[in-house]
């Protein structure tokens, strides 16, 4: 039987009496506890990473070109988990953070063309052990600032010695052009400390439109030369 992380008993940690003498990013919890909390996310990331590597290698082997350009996994740091918890007013207990922060494990898949994004998402989510929890399609409906990507929250089973835990992983799929824009927007935005002048915001949104046009253009060229991708 697959249990959720909430039911897994790992939540036992969060019910410990907080020890005020222990300080750190998680306040009452020690580093050993934090590492144990993060462990299943690391395993979840390894599982999904393997699935993506298998897809990439097999698709490359099929000889119609690999739709996956590159993949970057990341585990949220304790500091970034607690910062998000505070932002969303989530109590700093492992149980609450586990239930409400679904992007502790994250993996970004950068593809060549827009249709590749949907192909890879479909190949991943139709696997019987991958449970799709949420889809946010910011390609069909870009964010007001111009941000585009396909975001999935999936749950993937991790087989521990005595139980199976369904671990949530945030999967971000985007094209190289979307990734280029998002990476630079992130840098520009953070340098301005969230206080971006309106003119710059408009220009960033226009740049996102340019990136989307470039995607269309490259896809058209690819289509003209190679025909439609199956």
Interface residues toward ligand GTP, by CB under 6 A: 84, 103, 136, 143, 145, 147, 151, 172, 182, 185-186
As measured in angstroms, the least distance from the Cβ of 98 to Mg ion is 15
Position with the least CB separation from ligand GTP: 147
DSSP string, the chain: -EEETTTSSGGGGGGSPP-TT--STTTTS-HHHHHHHHHHHHHHHHHHHHHHHHHHHHHHHTTS--SEEEEEEEE--HHHHHHHHHHTT--SSHHHHHHH-TTSEEEEEEESSHHHHHHHHHHHHTSTT-EEEEEEETTTS--TT----EEEEEEEEEE-SS-EEEEEEEEEEEEHHHHHHHHHHHHHHHHTTT---HHHHHHHHHHHHHHHHHHHHHHHHHHHHH----
Among ligand GTP, Mg ion, none, partner that 215 touches (CB below 5 to 8 angstroms by kind): none
59 or 121, CB closer to ligand GTP?
A: 121
Cβ atoms of 200 and 145 within 8 Å: the answer is no
Catalytic residue status for 89: no
Set 47, 170, 209, 224: catalytic member = 170
Nearer to Mg ion, 103 or 179 (CB): 103
From the list ligand GTP, Mg ion, none, pick the one residue 143 interacts with, judged by a Cβ distance below 5 to 8 Å according to partner type.
ligand GTP
Nearer to ligand GTP, 185 or 215 (CB): 185
Q: Give the shortest CB-165-to-ligand GTP separation in angstroms.
A: 21
The entry of ligand GTP, Mg ion, none near residue 179 (CB within 5 to 8 angstroms by kind) is none
Residue 155 φ/ψ region, left for φ over 0, alpha for ψ in the -120 to 50 degree band, beta for the rest = beta
Among 103, 179, 185, 215, binds Mg ion (CB under 5 A): 103
Q: Is 116 in the site for Mg ion (CB under 5 A)?
A: no
Cβ 147 to ligand GTP, closest distance in Å? 4
State which residue, 201 or 222, has the beta carbon closest to ligand GTP.
201
Residues marked active site are found at 170
Which residues would be at the binding site for Mg ion (CB under 5 A)?
A: 103
């Amino acid at each position: 039987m697959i249990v959720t992380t909430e039911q897994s008993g790992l939540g036992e940690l969060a019910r410990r009496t907080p020890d005020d003498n222990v300080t750190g990013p998680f306040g009452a919890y020690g580093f050993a506890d934090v590492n144990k909390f993060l462990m299943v996310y690391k395993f979840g990331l390894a599982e999904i990473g393997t699935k993506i590597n298998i897809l990439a290698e097999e698709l490359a082997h099929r000889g119609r070109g690999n739709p996956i350009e590159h993949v970057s996994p990341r585990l949220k740091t304790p500091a970034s988990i607690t910062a998000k918890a505070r932002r969303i007013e989530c109590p700093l207990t492992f149980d609450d953070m586990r239930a409400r922060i679904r992007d502790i494990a994250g993996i970004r898949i950068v593809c060549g063309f827009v249709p590749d994004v949907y192909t890879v998402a479909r190949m991943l989510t139709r696997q019987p052990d991958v449970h799709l929890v949420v889809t946010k399609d910011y390609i069909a409906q870009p964010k007001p600032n111009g941000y585009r990507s396909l975001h999935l929250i999936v749950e993937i089973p991790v087989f521990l010695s005595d139980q199976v835990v369904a671990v949530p992983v945030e999967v971000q799929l985007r094209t190289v052009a979307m990734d280029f824009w998002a990476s630079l927007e992130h840098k520009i935005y953070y340098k301005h400390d969230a206080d971006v002048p309106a003119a710059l915001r408009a220009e960033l949104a226009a740049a996102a439109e340019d990136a989307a046009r470039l995607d269309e253009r490259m896809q058209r060229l690819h289509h003209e030369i190679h025909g439609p991708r199956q």
